[in-house]
């Protein structure tokens, strides 16, 4: 196997390869662009005109997706997987990955779409670097652009594998992409209704890609992901890499649960209290009238929506950031 297929090993060791470009026997080019960033270019005759960005490790302790990308890249480097798509593998936060923590100083996934310019430190610099790498990758015209940003969650979930679909004014959500996600094992999709500051929101709104944040189970350390079943997603990604992924011209979405954002719970001060147990799972249902959270100056969040559920509850975020999302059932 080519040495550049060991992107994860090199990144965790904090090492750079001696050779920055290597070719497989089939003519696939592997190009080390920066720490945790590797571009795969198929042989010209094999190119299916898909630019596929696969990112993981934006949160350093979410290891199952990192291991999945490592398997795909090693298969490409060994010649077991012949790519027809152009691919950018990105390991988002190497410093946090090496420490086994979510982030070192601040959450990179809250620093995109200009937010890093309002901040400082290594993770703000890394968010800027990731934007530059993604922008360069998606700069070629007349090609399909697709980005999957792979995550696992802090807590368990009533719906284990789900996606967040970003929003951009004037763009419609793609039924074809939702059908593809369903085939990959994604059980539910949250359709967002305002521009975001996550990595997938940046590539969707600013680079014209179809982009998704995929939540794939609960975060565990490296080597302890046996309970995270990514078989269907891995099969889907292999098909995309090989140019074999096809969706019907008139796709039908059958059984996937769709949700929309009803409200975001924003933490304003150290007085913030979230009235949920630490063990609460994503997509837990909340009764109408329930006092969900309180903050300074008598601020109260009371559940008013029918069928409301909570996702990403986290009272430990910094002031000004989202401490949870109330979602409700939706349709396209």
Catalytic residue among 39, 123, 177, 215: 215
173 annotated to bind ligand = no
Q: Which long-range contacts (CB under 8 A, 24 or more apart) does 110-113 make?
A: 110/197, 110/198, 110/321, 111/197, 112/197, 112/198, 112/199, 112/201, 112/202, 113/195, 113/196, 113/197, 113/201, 113/202, 113/205, 113/206
- Coil vs helix vs strand at 273: strand
Angle at the Cα of 109 (from 40 to 83), degrees rounded to 5? 15
Our answer to whether residue 215 is catalytic in this structure is: yes
Contact indicator for 40, 93 with CB cutoff of 8 Å: no
59 annotated to bind ligand = yes
Contact indicator for 103, 123 with CB cutoff of 8 Å: yes
- Coil vs helix vs strand at 2: coil
Angle between helices 231-242 and 175-183 (to 10 degrees): 120
Radius of gyration of the chain (CA): 20
- Coil vs helix vs strand at 306: coil
So which residues are the catalytic ones?
Answer: 215
Binding residues for Zn(2+): 59, 62, 151
Binding residues: 59, 62, 151
């Amino acid at each position: 196997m080519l040495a550049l297929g060991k992107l994860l090993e090199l990144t965790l060791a904090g090492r750079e390869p001696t050779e920055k470009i290597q070719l497989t026997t089939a003519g696939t080019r592997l190009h080390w662009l920066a720490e945790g960033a590797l571009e795969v270019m198929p042989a010209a005759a094999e190119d299916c005109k898909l630019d596929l960005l696969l990112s993981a490790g934006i949160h350093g302790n979410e290891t199952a997706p990192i291991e999945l990308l490592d398997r795909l890249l090693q298969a490409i480097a060994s010649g077991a997987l012949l790519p027809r798509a152009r691919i950018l593998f990105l390991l988002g936060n190497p410093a946090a990955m090496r420490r086994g923590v979510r982030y070192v100083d601040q959450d990179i996934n809250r620093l995109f779409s200009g937010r890093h310019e309002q901040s400082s430190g290594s993770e703000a610099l890394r968010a800027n670097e990731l934007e530059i790498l993604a922008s360069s990758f998606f700069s070629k015209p007349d090609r399909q652009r697709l980005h999957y940003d792979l995550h696992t969650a802090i807590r368990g979930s009533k719906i284990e594998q789900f996606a967040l679909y970003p929003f951009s004014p004037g763009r419609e959500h793609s039924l074809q992409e939702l059908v593809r996600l369903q085939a990959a094992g994604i059980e539910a999709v949250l359709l967002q209704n305002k521009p975001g500051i996550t990595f997938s929101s940046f590539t969707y709104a600013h680079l014209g890609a179809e982009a998704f944040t995929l939540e794939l189970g609960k975060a565990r350390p490296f080597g302890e992901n046996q309970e995270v079943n990514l078989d269907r997603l891995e099969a889907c990604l292999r098909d995309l890499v090989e140019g074999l992924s096809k969706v019907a011209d008139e796709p039908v979405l059958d059984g996937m649960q769709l949700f929309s954002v009803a409200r975001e719970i924003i933490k304003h001060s150290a007085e913030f209290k979230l009235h949920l147990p630490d063990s609460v799972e994503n997509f837990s249902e909340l009764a109408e009238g329930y006092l969900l959270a309180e903050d300074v100056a008598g601020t109260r969040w009371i559940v008013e929506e029918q069928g409301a559920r909570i996702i990403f509850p986290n009272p430990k975020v910094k002031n000004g950031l989202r401490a949870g999302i109330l979602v409700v059932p939706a349709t396209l």
